[in-house]
């Protein structure tokens, strides 16, 4: 596999995302992590800032490129000449939505989606939980990449 596109909201990046990035990067020459707009979500952190946080979390993974873009996932996949889309699947509730999205993207853009199950221990983590914990002043450190809790809290405040 040459290029995989891993699209998402990443608002903010969590240990669940990092798990998929680390494992996905081993399967391809280049993993493009793309911050895209999910119309179903309001958005807390500014997209370029989300990309910056992902870049910091991915330092040391040589074949990861991080971008923040507008438009459809299939357009992003075409721009980066991605061979397939990568998405993470948590054990509870992700599948139906991911199935629909994969089908639509295949119909629209003739691009396949590969779904990777999350590793044990991170399947219960979500960006929305991180945002909620942070909004009540709780400790988000167990759920986000090591050493990045303060960066993420700062980004949420701006
Ligand atoms: O992390 P998320 O919120 O589950 O990611 C969803 C995302 C951003 C990948 C999805 O909303 C998306 O693809 N947005 C771009 C617009 C698009 O292509 N919509 C059609 C998807 S079928």
Pocket of ligand 1 (CB under 6 A): 7-9, 36-38, 41, 72-73, 101, 104-105
Residues labelled catalytic: 17, 41, 90, 127
- CA–CA separation, 105 and 54 (whole Å): 24
pLDDT band, very low/low/confident/very high, at 147 (cuts 50, 70, 90): very high
Mutate which of 8, 74, 110 to test ligand 1's pocket (most atoms within 8 Å of Cβ)?
A: 8
Written as six digits, the tokens of 99 are 């199935």
Provide the pLDDT for residue 73. 98
- Write out pLDDT tens, residues 96-146: 999 999 999 999 999 999 999 999 999 999 999 999 999 999 999 999 999
- CA–CA separation, 37 and 47 (whole Å): 8
Closest atom of ligand 1 to 97 CA is: 4
**Mean pLDDT for the stretch of residues 18-45:** 97
- CA–CA separation, 29 and 64 (whole Å): 9
Provide the pLDDT for residue 158. 77
pTM of structure: 0.98
**Mean pLDDT for the stretch of residues 79-103:** 97
Q: For residue 71, report the distance from its CA to the centre of ligand 1, in Å.
A: 9
How high does pLDDT run on average in the chain?
97
Confidence check: pLDDT of 1 > 80:
no
**Rg of the chain on CA atoms, in Å:** 15
Provide the pLDDT for residue 8. 98
What contacts 78, CB < 8 A, 6 or more positions away? 109
Mutate which of 4, 7, 51 to test ligand 1's pocket (most atoms within 8 Å of Cβ)?
A: 7
């Amino acid at each position: 596999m040459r290029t995989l596109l891993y699209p998402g909201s990443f608002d903010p990046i969590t240990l669940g995302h990092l798990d998929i990035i680390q494992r996905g990067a081993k399967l391809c020459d280049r993993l493009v992590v793309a911050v895209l707009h999910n119309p179903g979500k309001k958005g807390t952190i500014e997209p370029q800032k989300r990309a910056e946080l992902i870049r910091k979390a991915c330092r040391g993974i040589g074949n990861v490129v991080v971008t923040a873009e507008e438009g459809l996932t299939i357009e992003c996949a075409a721009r980066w000449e991605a061979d397939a889309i990568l998405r993470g699947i948590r054990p509870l509730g992700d599948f139906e939505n991911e199935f629909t999205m994969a089908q639509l993207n295949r119909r629209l853009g003739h691009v396949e989606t590969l779904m990777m199950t999350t590793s044990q221990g991170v399947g219960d983590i979500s960006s929305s939980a991180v945002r909620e914990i942070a909004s009540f002043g709780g400790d988000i450190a167990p759920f986000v990449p090591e050493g990045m809790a303060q960066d993420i809290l700062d980004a949420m405040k701006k």
